Amino acid sequence: MIRHLLSGADLDAATATQILDTAAEMATVAGREVKKLPALRGRTVVNLFYEDSTRTRISFEAAAKRLSADVINFSAKGSSVTKGESLKDTALTLQAMGADAVVVRHPASGAPHRLANWVDGSVVNAGDGTHEHPTQALLDAYTMRSRLGRLAGLHVAIVGDVLHSRVARSNVLLLSTLGAKVTLVGPPTLIPVDISAALAPGTDVSYDLDTVLPGVDVVMMLRVQRERMGDSYFPSAREYARRYGLDGPRLRRLPEHAIVMHPGPMNRGMEITPEVADSPRSTIVEQVANGVSVRMAVLYLLLGGNNL
Amino acid sequence: MACPPAAPSSPPRQPSVKVILAATDVSRVVDRIAHQILEKTQGAADTVLLGIPTRGAPLAKRLAARISTFEDVAVPVGVLDITLYRDDLRRHATRAIGPTQLPPGGIDGKRVVLVDDVLFSGRTVRAALDALNDLGRPASVQLAVLVDRGHRQLPIRADYVGKNIPTSLAESVKVTLAETDGLDEVKLYGGTPS
């Protein structure tokens, strides 16, 4: 088993499948009388969040607690970080406190990789800058597999702000490992040049959503990350929504079995209309529930044995 | 004991293997345990069989099938994975967890019979009792094993035993079943050659 989970590329097909299978077992815990397993009793998991997050932090916290680990939540606001403490010094503090795993979200791409060299425990990347978010990719893959029954051979369209999206990057890596085909769709300004060569060969790029929709099994809408961009990537929010937003008419152009995903948080009316977001083909709420199971699986497989 | 003449070319220090139960014996033993469960539970009402993977699961299914043949009662069968409750979880590389499937009626208020292949230290059964505790509240819990080889490390005993095999700690008992291994057999490996 791997020691850290930093990138979607850390996982080969066998390991990724093992995580998804383990997550399926973990999911049954949610329906039990006692929603707790003793597997990580006495282990400490630190949630180190330098960036705002609702679902990822809560999801990791719930996952660690369901496995009986002790959870320490650290958010940069209200900590010594505001006094100027560096990531390394914070890491050494966590090390001294005996953290067995550090779940880190950081605005700088690559911060979890640096952290992995400084601490003895496992590091789980919970989103670093515009780089990667591997557990999101795993929960997306889990959701696709549970809705559509398989991953190999699926055609997945990832639509929107690919440039700033760590979700897109991790998904391209993981989905291609698991045999799905990915088409990235968005305005040319928001799709990096040569991304398929950089991430996974075989990844297609399209600038026209309407031609892609009839042939996909999954359409994954990305949030337009206004906080990471000026206004120069597209002329207006209305134009973006008109060309790349998923609305009712576009939803009806999808094949009947196709599902709609969104990693959240959504900009309703921008990349997705409320009609689509709340439709039965949307898996958005399911993704949140699956997130806990997948993160339980990741924490168990990293920390459950003596492989530290 | 009949001692065949030693083959002159036999390789040295071949570990001794003894077949304790052959396929027909295993089937007879399963039949007997099924009868004993029926007898002790007065017809197996409100009884649930939970197999502990790997080989407890098919054994539980067989017992249920035999019970329904003998007395025409359908006993619910489930699988109880105990991986996450093991006390040695942290001493080994991470173990893959298996499925836990409770029968639709659950286990609350039922008589649960845990089924496993070999009873040895008792630690597996302890883990199973802990796992049960998180799944519900059975009225009572019993234990059925195909083989009891002794050397308990915990105060645990079986209610139904297929065969008691006195062993030394140097020996090992291996159960194979048709469902998991292609053949029903119980073998004793190692120890002093008899």
Does residue A129 sit in the same domain as residue A147? no
Partner B, chain A 57-116, Cβ-Cβ below 8 Å: none
Average pLDDT over residues A282-303: 95
Average pLDDT over residues B66-71: 95
Peptide bond into B58 cis (omega under 30): no
Residue B152 lies in a domain: yes
Nearest to A301 among B89, B91, B94 (CB): B94
Contact A34 B133 (CB under 8 A): yes
Structural tokens at position A70: 């002790």
Residue B51 lies in a domain: yes
Least confident span in A74-78, A119-123, A170-174, A262-266? A74-78
Residue A243 lies in a domain: yes
Residue B185 lies in a domain: no
Does residue A210 sit in the same domain as residue A125? no
Which residue range is the domain that position A60 belongs to?
A: 8-133+290-303
ipTM for this prediction: 0.81
Contact B100 A301 (CB under 8 A): no
Q: Does the structure show a pLDDT above 70 at A55? A: yes
Q: What is the distance between the alpha carbons of residues A124 and A110, in angstroms, rounded to a whole number?
A: 12
Query: Into how many domains does chain A fold?
Result: 2
* Residue A199: per-residue pLDDT: 85
Annotated binding site of A for L-aspartate: 83, 166, 223
Residue B90: its chain A contacts at CB < 8 A? 304-306
Q: What is the distance between the alpha carbons of residues B84 and B94, in angstroms, rounded to a whole number?
A: 10
* Cα–chain center distance at A224: 15
Q: How far is CA A22 from CA A64, A294, B5, B96, in A?
A: 15, 8, 53, 7
Structural tokens at position A57: 């932090």
Average pLDDT over residues B81-110: 91
Residue B7 lies in a domain: no
Residue A227 lies in a domain: yes
Chain A to chain B, count of Cβ pairs less than 8 Å apart?
Answer: 51
Q: Does the structure show a pLDDT above 80 at B182? A: yes
Residue A301: its chain B contacts at CB < 8 A? 94
| Model confidence band, residue B146 (pLDDT cutoffs 50, 70, 90) | very high
Q: Name the CA radius of gyration of chain A, rounded.
A: 19
Average pLDDT over residues A112-126: 95
Structural tokens at position B175: 């159960």
Does residue A98 sit in the same domain as residue A48? yes
CATH code for position B72 = 3.40.50.2020
Average pLDDT over residues A35-42: 93
CATH code for position A102 = 3.40.50.1370
Angle in degrees, CA B110, B116, B117, rounded to 5: 155
Residue A127 lies in a domain: yes
Which residue in the block uniquely carries the two structure tokens 């799944």?
B135
Partner A, chain B 85-124, Cβ-Cβ below 8 Å: 85, 89-100
| Model confidence band, residue A195 (pLDDT cutoffs 50, 70, 90) | confident
The strand pairing partners of B114, in sequence order, are: B50, B143
Q: What is the distance between the alpha carbons of residues B119 and A27, in angstroms, rounded to a whole number?
A: 30
Does residue A297 sit in the same domain as residue A240? no
Q: Is the dihedral of CA B130, B133, B134, B136 positive or negative?
A: positive
* Residue B14: per-residue pLDDT: 65
Contact A33 B97 (CB under 8 A): no
Residue B184 lies in a domain: no
Does residue A279 contact residue A260 with C-beta atoms inside 8 Å?
yes
H or E element at residue B68: helix B56-71
Does residue A171 sit in the same domain as residue A220? yes
Higher pLDDT pick, B194 / A260: A260
Partner B, chain A 179-218, Cβ-Cβ below 8 Å: none
Does residue A7 contact residue A198 with C-beta atoms inside 8 Å?
no
Q: How far is B88 from chain A (nearest CA, A)?
A: 9
Q: How far is CA A148 from CA A29, A54, B66, B81, in A?
A: 22, 27, 38, 27
Contact B130 A34 (CB under 8 A): no
Contact A38 B99 (CB under 8 A): no
Structural tokens at position B171: 């020996």
Which residue range is the domain that position B118 belongs to?
A: 24-85+97-166
Does residue A153 sit in the same domain as residue A279? yes
* A127-157 pLDDT tens trace: 999 999 999 999 999 999 999 999 999 999 9
DSSP-derived secondary structure for chain A = --S-B--GGG--HHHHHHHHHHHHHHHHHTTSSS----TTTT-EEEEEESS--SHHHHHHHHHHHHTT-EEEEEESTTSGGGGT--HHHHHHHHHHTT-SEEEEEESSTTHHHHHHHH-SSEEEEEEETTTB-HHHHHHHHHHHHHHHS--TT-EEEEES--TT-HHHHHHHHHHHHTT-EEEEES-GGGS-TTHHHHS-TT-EEES-HHHHGGG-SEEEEPP--GGG--S-SSS-HHHHHHHH-B-HHHHHHS-TT-EEE--S---BTTTB-HHHHTSTTB-HHHHHHHHHHHHHHHHHHHHSSS--
Residue B131 lies in a domain: yes
* Residue B2: per-residue pLDDT: 46
Average pLDDT, chain B: 91
Residue A24 lies in a domain: yes
Nearest CA in chain B to A2: B94
Query: Into how many domains does chain B fold?
Result: 1
Contact B98 A28 (CB under 8 A): no
Q: Does the structure show a pLDDT above 90 at A237? A: no
Residue B130: its chain A contacts at CB < 8 A? 38
Contact B100 A39 (CB under 8 A): no
Q: What is the distance between the alpha carbons of residues A304 and B5, in angstroms, rounded to a whole number?
A: 52
Residue B85: its chain A contacts at CB < 8 A? 37-38
A1 touches chain B (CB under 8 A): yes
Residue B79 lies in a domain: yes
Q: Does the structure show a pLDDT above 90 at A248? A: yes
Does residue A67 sit in the same domain as residue A187? no
Q: For residue B102, give the nearest of B136, B140, B65 by alpha carbon.
A: B136
Partner A, chain B 122-141, Cβ-Cβ below 8 Å: 130, 133-136
Does residue A141 sit in the same domain as residue A273? yes
Q: For residue B32, give the nearest of B63, B78, B58 by alpha carbon.
A: B63
Does residue A44 sit in the same domain as residue A34? yes
Identify residue B2 by its one-letter amino acid code. A
Residue A3 lies in a domain: no
The strand pairing partners of B187, in sequence order, are: B19, B174
Higher pLDDT pick, A62 / A81: A62
Does residue A158 sit in the same domain as residue A281? yes
Residue to substitute from B81, B89, B130, interface A, most A β-carbons within 10 A: B89
A304 touches chain B (CB under 8 A): yes
* A174-187 pLDDT tens trace: 999 999 999 999 99
Does residue A242 sit in the same domain as residue A146? yes
Residue A114 lies in a domain: yes
Average pLDDT over residues A54-79: 91
Residue B189 lies in a domain: no
Does residue A249 sit in the same domain as residue A111? no
Residue A1 lies in a domain: no
Q: Does the structure show a pLDDT above 50 at B1? A: no
Residue A149 lies in a domain: yes
Q: For residue B94, give the nearest of A174, A67, A2, A178 by alpha carbon.
A: A2
Contact B92 A38 (CB under 8 A): no
Q: How far is CA B165 from CA A23, B115, B148, B159, B192, in A?
A: 39, 17, 6, 16, 15
Q: Does the structure show a pLDDT above 70 at B4? A: no
Which residue in the block uniquely carries the two structure tokens 């515009």?
A130
Say how many CA atoms lie within 13 Å of B68 toward its Cβ.
11
Q: What is the distance between the alpha carbons of residues B52 and B45, in angstroms, rounded to a whole number?
A: 21
